[in-house]
Amino acid sequence: MVRNKFCFTVLREGKGTLVNVVAFVTDRQKAGTPFEGHWVSDVSREEFEEAFQNFESAAKNLIKCCENPTRWALHVVNELPLSTCDRVALIGDACHAMTPHLGAGGGHAIEDAFVLGRLLAHPLTTLDNVHVALETYQDIRLSVAQFTARKSEALGHMYEFNAPGYYDGTDRGNEGEELERLKEKIIEDRRGWEGEGGAVAGWLKAERKLQESIVIVERW
C-alpha cells in the first residue's frame, strides 16, 4: 500500500519568497528493509507530478513551481540497547535516526552533543572515570531520543491517515467525525511531546547523576 502526503513550509529566508515543499511517498512494504540506491537523488518534475496526480489543484500547482526537486530516502535506527561502550559513544542519527515527522532528529543530535560535551568537560570527569560520564550520557539521553523516535513514527502514520481507531480511510459513513478526532489526537500528541524537559533540564539531571555516581565510585 502506498500512501502519499504533502506539506509545505514557507521559509523566512529570501524575505518570504521561498517555499520549501516536502512531499512524502510511503511504501509500507519496504519499511524495515535496506534501501537500494543513492540516499539522495534528483527526480524529474514529471515523476514528482505523477506521484501526486490525484491531489487537489493547489498542491499540483505548487509542484509545477518546484525547481530541481530531489528525493531523499528516510532511514531509521531501530532501538539500540546502548549508546556507549567503554570509551566510545554514539550521538545523533548514528544512534537514533528517526523519521522527520516531528522535525526533531536534528534537535536531538544537538542535545546529545550538549549533554555529552558538558559531561566530558565537567571538573569531576577524569580519564580514569570517563566511562561514568559516558554511562550518564546514555542514561539521560538514549531513552528520551528513542521516545521521540517512536512518537515521530506514530505521528507519521497518523499524518498519512493510517490511524486505526481514528481514521484509516475506511468508509464508515462518519469520515468528518473521524478526521476531527484524528486532528485532536495529533494536536494532543504534539503538545505532549513539546512539553518534555528540553536540553537544559536534561543537562541538570545528568550533572546530578554524574556527581552521585562519582561519589559512589570513589567511596567504593
DSSP alpha helix (H) spans, 19-104 = 45-51, 57-64, 93-96
Please report, as a single letter, which amino acid is at residue 8: F
C-alpha span between 138 and 116 (Å, rounded):
9
Q: How far is the CB of 84 from ligand FAD (least distance, A)?
A: 15
Q: How far is the CB of 72 from ligand FAD (least distance, A)?
A: 5
Number of residues near ligand FAD (by CB under 6 A):
12
Nearer to ligand FAD, 4 or 129 (CB): 4
Q: Are the CB atoms for 144 and 213 separated by under 8 Å?
A: no
Q: Are the CB atoms for 75 and 97 separated by under 8 Å?
A: yes
Helix (H, G, I), strand (E, B) or coil at 123: coil
Nearer to ligand FAD, 35 or 72 (CB): 72
- First-to-last C-alpha distance (Å) of the chain: 58
> Any residues with CB less than 8 A from the CB of 199 and at least 6 apart, and which?
110, 111, 114, 115
C-alpha span between 79 and 82 (Å, rounded):
9
Nearer to ligand FAD, 90 or 130 (CB): 90
Nearer to ligand FAD, 103 or 169 (CB): 103
Q: How far is the CB of 89 from ligand FAD (least distance, A)?
A: 12
Q: How far is the CB of 156 from ligand FAD (least distance, A)?
A: 12
Nearer to ligand FAD, 109 or 132 (CB): 109
Question: Which parts of 76-135 interact with ligand FAD (CB under 6 A)?
Answer: 92-94, 100, 103-107, 109
The closest alpha carbon to 93, from 77, 114, 107, belongs to: 77
C-alpha span between 2 and 27 (Å, rounded):
5
Q: How far is the CB of 128 from ligand FAD (least distance, A)?
A: 29
User: Is 69 near ligand FAD (CB under 6 A)?
Assistant: no
Residue nearest to ligand FAD (CB): 92
Nearer to ligand FAD, 106 or 169 (CB): 106
User: Is 72 near ligand FAD (CB under 6 A)?
Assistant: yes
Which residues of the shown chain bind ligand FAD in the complex (CB under 6 A)?
A: 72, 74, 92-94, 100, 103-107, 109
